[in-house]
Amino acid sequence: MSALLRVENVTMRFGGLVALNDVTFSVKKGSVLAVIGPNGAGKSTLFNVVTGVYKPTAGRMTFDGADITSKPSYEVVRRGIARTFQSSRLFSDLSVLDNVIIGMHTRTKTGVLDALFRPGASRREMAACVEKAEALLQAGSGDLYEQRNRPAGTLAQADRRRLEIARALASQPKLILLDEPSVGMDDKETDALVADIKRLRSGHPELSVILIEHDMRVVGAFPEHVMCIDYGSRIAEGSFETVRANPRVQEAYLGKAAAHA
Amino acid sequence: MGLSASPAAPGAAAAAAFTILSQLCGAAFLYVLLKADGSWQVMGLLALLGVGFFLLERFPGIGEFITASLTRVPLVTAATAAIIVLGFPFVVGSNTYILHLLIVAQLYAVLALALNFQLGSANIPNFATGASYGIGAYVSALLALNFGMSFWLTLPIAALAATLFGFIIGIPSMRTRDTYLALVTIAFGVVVQQLLNNFDWTGGPNGLVGIPAPSLFGHSFASPLQVFGWKLPSQANFYYLAAALVVVAVVTAQRLHGSRIGLAWNALRADEIAAKAQGINVAWYKVLAFAVDAFLAAFAGTIYAFYVSYISPDNFTFLVSVTIMTMVIVGGMDNIFGVIVGAFLLTILPEKLRAFSDYRLLFFGVVVIGFLMIRPQGLFPQRLRQYGVHR
């Protein structure tokens, strides 16, 4: 099977701090990779490096056959990597619908001159975006569609996470990075989220997902490929069972979680 | 939040009647304000305005009803506005002072709309709009004086020159943000004014004198305007020219706001990192906002230069940029109508309150601080985009 995303020996240093240390992994087309690890292990940094927010200090990344190391964010998104944020970053003073339409930025192309001198074309493009956005809002769980004309900042926590996912999907990605999508959700909402992701995968069999999660029920729902990071280094990789059984993982992560439970 | 169509949505006939009535009221208020003599009358009118906004704040239904009526019958709205704008000079008659105020107010409305692309849509604090305005004025004046070019030819050339300037400030500004960005633009504004003051070919502190009045189809803008036997003072020519420019600015603002460009600007205003993650080339869109701002400001500058026929660096100081910024903040960021109201109020009030003219800067300072504290969204807050209302 061909790897969609290949991350090779990526290191990210901030001054003396090593946030990612020689991380290597790959994601196959249509698969889910769950990334686990304690707080501060470097999971979100990994997302930021892959999406071009940070330039890696060393290492190489290829996506869909092209080198994306040190490419700017907008270029990475255009190539088909979309993401959500751990602390949801919505455009809170814009409507729910506008948030999703902005997600289509790389798939639309009206420029300033088009907008000024070909208003009909610009309006048609927006109308098409509205239609697609409404379809995306109807696809997920919850009642986002009914709330489409509300400012995004007034949504409940679970709806904010759902909206972030809808916005990421609006760019028609080949790979979607979900940064702790279940944060702020109760058990029922988390189950709906897992169902959403599963439905999404059956609808788009080509779509790959990287999932950062703390909730082991979510990770357990996608057990084929799990990677554990601690202190910026990959300490285990494999199926959920093997990673969970790994003594280093238990020491770094599950030990703490078990004490909690 | 009653964001969907309110149950009291008016019928077409009622909406049309209400639309005409509300716009006539607005025009009447403007007329009385322009005619007002003495600080007490102006204060009274301001109090009336204050009561109006207090009622709007207490009963948001009123505002919703007005906007619902206006958007229900867009053709009636546009036609009424056109008739009011075209007819206003006839009502004002031979009072050239009022016409002058209206011309300046309209030019400031264009400048405020230009800045609104940055401050309102994209939250870029640009203090160099006055400089773009000056570049437009100087480029067109120099072309007219040295090469005898006509006004109509200098208009696009000046706009392109200022746009180039917009790109030039935009590019270093990409790397800075917030306060630092504001500082960079202040520096650019001051540098431009100093250069105009010190170059020989710009006339130095004496400026440029004797800019010829434009003419159209043989009619010189310096001569009175004859319409159907009515004789309007020569200022009326520039009044209509400035009104046409306001229309251009409003259409530009509406089209950009309604397209994906306006959305991209709004996205980077709300959250720059999230905007990047949606594939928006943040740096490019910031530079674009600078360029559009400079383009429109230069149009206003050209008309100003040909209107007053004498320009000097003093017309384009840092204070001008501050004034424009105040208008956007007071009127309402990212609200086209609000920005125009802000421009009119802040052009006319300082003229009417002449008794306090020594404290003009203080006045603007107090107004900005007051608004940021009491009503940071401005007189007319930005509205959510509505799609498919007439589907």
Q: In which domain, by residue range, is B74 found?
A: 8-92
Q: Within this chain, do residues B140 and B271 fall inside the same structural domain, yes or no?
A: yes
pLDDT level of residue B1 (50, 70, 90 thresholds): very low
> Cβ contact (<8 Å) for A74 and B280?
yes
**Residues B173 and B233 occupy one common structural domain:** yes
Q: How confident is the model at residue B7 (pLDDT cuts 50, 70, 90)?
A: very low
Give the Cα separation of B66 and B15 in Å (integer): 9
* Claim to verify: residue B175 and residue B30 sit in the same structural domain: no
Say if residue B78 is in the same domain as residue B101.
no
pLDDT band at B6 (very low <50, low <70, confident <90, very high): very low
Tokens (6 digits) for A181? 């999508």
For B330-344, what is each residue's pLDDT tens digit? 888 888 998 999 999
- Is A26 part of a structural domain of the chain? yes
This model of the complex carries an ipTM of 0.89
In whole angstroms, what is the distance from residue B283 CA to residue B171 CA?
Answer: 8
Report, in this order, helix, strand and coil percent for chain A, each rounded to 5.
45, 25, 35
Look up residue A95 and give its DSSP letter: B
Q: DSSP code of A229?
A: E
pLDDT at B2: 37
Torsion of CA B95, B100, B106, B112, to 10 degrees: -140
Clarify whether residues B69 and B115 are in a common domain: no
- If interface means Cβ-Cβ distance under 8 Å, which residues of chain B face chain A? 1, 3-4, 252, 255-256, 258-261, 263-264, 266-267, 270-271, 273-282, 288, 292, 382, 384-388
pLDDT-derived band at B4, boundaries 50, 70, 90: very low
- Spatial distance between the Cα atoms of A9 and A25, rounded to a whole number of angstroms: 9
Distance CA B306, CA B122 (A): 32
Residues B271-279 have a mean pLDDT of 90
Same domain, B53 and B161: no
For chain B, percent helix, then strand, then coil, each to nearest 5? 75, 5, 20
Of the pLDDT bands very low, low, confident and very high (cuts 50, 70, 90), residue B5 is: very low
Strands A81-83 and A175-179, sheet pairing: parallel
Task: Check whether residue B113 and residue B70 sit in a common domain.
Answer: no
A226: its two tokens: 């799990």
Residues A98, A91 contacting (CB under 8 angstroms): yes
Residues of B in contact with A82 (CB under 8 A): 277
- As a whole number of angstroms, the distance between CA A218 and CA A178 comes to 12
What's the CATH number where B289 sits? 1.10.3470
Tokens representing residue B63 in the block? 């505002």
Higher pLDDT, B385 or A201: A201
- Residue B377 to residue B186: CA distance in whole angstroms: 24
A102 with B382: Cβ contact below 8 A: no
The model's confidence at residue A158, banded by pLDDT at 50, 70 and 90, is: confident
Whether B260 and A108 lie within 8 Å, measured CB to CB: yes
Residue among B306, B259, B319 at smallest CA distance from B155:
B306
pLDDT at B52 over 50: yes
A180: left (phi over 0), alpha (psi -120 to 50) or beta: left
Backbone dihedral angles phi then psi of residue A145, each to the nearest 5 degrees: -60, -40
Distance (Å, rounded) from C-alpha B210 to C-alpha B148?
A: 12
Chain A's closest residue to B281, CA to CA, is A74
Lowest mean pLDDT among A157-166, A249-258, B135-144: A249-258
- The verdict on B98 and B88 lying in the same domain is no
Residues B201 and B157 reside in one and the same domain: yes
The verdict on residue A230 lying in a domain is: yes
CB atoms within 10 A of CB B65: 18
Residue A61 in contact with residue A7, Cβ under 8 Å? yes
Comparing B205 with B343, which gets the higher pLDDT? B343
The pLDDT of residue A261: 47
Contact call for residues A91 and A105 (beta carbons, < 8 A): no
CA quadruple B348, B353, B354, B357: dihedral sign: negative
DSSP A19: E
pLDDT tens-digit map of A27-39: 999 999 999 988 8
- Neighbour-count burial of B217, counting CB atoms closer than 10 A to its CB (0-12 exposed, 13-18 middle, 19+ buried): exposed
B180 and B267 assigned to the same domain: yes
Q: pLDDT of A199-232, one tens digit each?
A: 999 988 999 999 999 888 899 999 999 999 988 8
Domain count for chain A: 1
Contact: A94, B263; criterion CB under 8 Å: yes
Does residue B384 belong to any structural domain of this protein?
Answer: no
Residue A141 resides in a domain = no
Q: Phi and psi of A82, rounded to 5°?
A: -120, 160
Residue B2 burial (C-beta neighbours within 10 Å; 0-12, 13-18, 19+): exposed
pLDDT in tens, B110-134: 999 999 998 888 888 889 899 999 9
pLDDT for the residue numbered A255: 57
**End-to-end CA separation in angstroms for chain A:** 38
Which of A156-165, B98-107, B206-215 shows the lowest mean pLDDT across its residues?
Answer: B206-215
> Could you tell me the CA-to-CA distances from B192 to B124, B136, B167, B377 in Å, in that order?
20, 12, 15, 31
d(CA A99, nearest CA chain B) in Å = 8
Query: In this predicted model, what pLDDT tens digit does every residue of B58-107 receive, in sequence order?
Result: 887 877 888 888 878 888 888 888 999 888 888 887 788 889 999 999 99
With an 8 Å Cβ cutoff, is A86 touching chain B? no
Asked whether residue B180 carries a pLDDT value surpassing 50, the answer given is yes
Domain assignment of residue B79, yes or no: yes
Residue A54 at interface with chain B, using a CB cutoff of 8 Å: no
pLDDT, position B297: 93
The predicted model gives A251-261 an average pLDDT of 58
Q: Which of A50, A71, A79, A91 to mutate to test the interface with B (most CBs of B within 10 A)?
A: A91
Last residue of a domain, one of B36, B59, B92: B92
Q: Is residue B383 part of a domain?
A: no
Calculate the alpha carbon distances from A140 to A176, A199, A216 in Å: 15, 9, 22
The answer to whether the CB of A140 falls within 8 A of the CB of A168 is no
Give the pLDDT confidence of A82-126 residue by residue, as tens digits. 999 988 899 999 999 999 999 999 999 888 889 989 998 999 999
Which domain-ending residue is among B34, B59, B92?
A: B92
pLDDT of residue B3: 42
Q: Which of A244, A238, A240, A224 is nearest to A31 (CA)?
A: A224
Which residue has tokens 């814009």? A94
Q: Which of A49, A74, A114, A122 to mutate to test the interface with B (most CBs of B within 10 A)?
A: A74
A225 Cβ neighbours under 8 A, 6+ residues apart: A27, A31, A32, A33, A34, A237, A238, A239
Q: Is residue A165 part of a domain?
A: no
Q: Which domain holds residue A20?
A: 3-94+172-260
Do B176 and B247 lie in a common domain? yes
What pLDDT is attached to residue A168? Answer: 93
Please answer whether residues A111 and A165 qualify as being in contact, where contact means their C-beta atoms are separated by less than 8 angstroms: no
For residue A233, the surrounding DSSP H or E stretch is strand A233-238
CATH number for the domain that contains residue A88:
3.40.50.300
Q: Is residue A107 part of a domain?
A: no
Q: With contact defined as beta carbons under 8 Å apart, do A209 and A197 qualify?
A: yes
B35, B60, B92: which is the final residue of a domain?
A: B92
Is the separation of the CB atoms in A98 and B263 below 8 Å? yes
B296 and B331 in a single domain? The answer is yes
As a dihedral over the C-alpha atoms of residue A154, residue A157, residue A159, residue A165, rounded to 10 degrees, the angle is 120
The number of angstroms, rounded, from the C-alpha of A175 to the middle of its chain's C-alpha atoms is 8
Q: A23 in a domain, yes or no?
A: yes
pLDDT 10s digits, A137-157: 998 877 889 998 899 999 988
Is residue A233 in a domain?
A: yes
Residue A187 counted as domain residue: yes
Per-residue model confidence (pLDDT) at position B8: 53
Cα angle at A122 between A118 and A124, to 5 degrees? 115
Contacts of A206 (CB under 8 A, 6+ apart): A29, A30, A174
Interface of A with B in 202-241 (CB under 8 A): none
Task: Nearest chain B residue to A95 by CA: give it.
Answer: B384
Contact B175, B282 (CB under 8 A): no
Confidence of residue A259 (pLDDT cuts 50, 70, 90): very low
Number of domains in chain B: 2
